[in-house]
Amino acid sequence: MLKLFTIITLLSFHHLVTTQAAGKCRFNEKHFNNFTLEIVNNTLYLDMVTPTTISRGLKVLMDVQISLDKRKSYQRLFAYVLDICAVVSSVKSSMFKSWFQSILERGNFMTNCPVPPGHYFLHNWKLDSQLVPHYLMVGDYRVFCHFFYGKHKSIHEDFVLDMDIYAVMKAA
């Protein structure tokens, strides 16, 4: 769950992104009473209410894609399956850990697992341009995040949340 916020970071790109950012989400009511994602002027607002404990084992498939043509067909740049609790509780530095640290400044997220039921938020947050990977080029981006428990694409998968985020990165 906490990883989803780090994924959203790609839509801000601080001074590199135009105001053309959008997002949509779909959630499992077993895991969330409410999940709201809003992007206004490259600023992210997120509110969620969890009725149950978010336990260890929550994973996210993060798929970052780019479109280099006008037809909006996207090509995968990279995709990762990440264990949310491992990233959040890790002492090792990584791109994902840096994103999460940035998010902690504007939200009330837990820094360990399990996460008790409650209301969690991220308000008025923009990604610092220093946290944007230098290898990302100008273009239209789609970041798809699929959160789940169990084994991805199996009968044992327990769907938690899907987020689709679109952003345009232009040269400064």
Ordered structural domains, the chain, with CATH: 2-163 (2.70.220)
What pLDDT band is residue 139 in, cutting at 50, 70 and 90?
Answer: confident
Residue-wise DSSP of 1-32: -HHHHHHHGGGTTGGGB-S--EEEEEE-TTT-
Q: How many CB atoms lie within 10 A of CB 91?
A: 5
The Cα–Cα gap between 164 and 70 comes to 19
pTM (predicted TM-score)? 0.83
Residues 15-44 pLDDT 10s: 333 334 577 899 999 999 999 998 888 788
The Cα–Cα gap between 77 and 92 comes to 24
Residues 84-111 pLDDT 10s: 988 788 767 777 777 778 888 999 998 8
**Of the candidates 138, 13, 131, the residue with the CA atom closest to the CA atom of residue 67:** 138
Give the pLDDT score at 7: 36
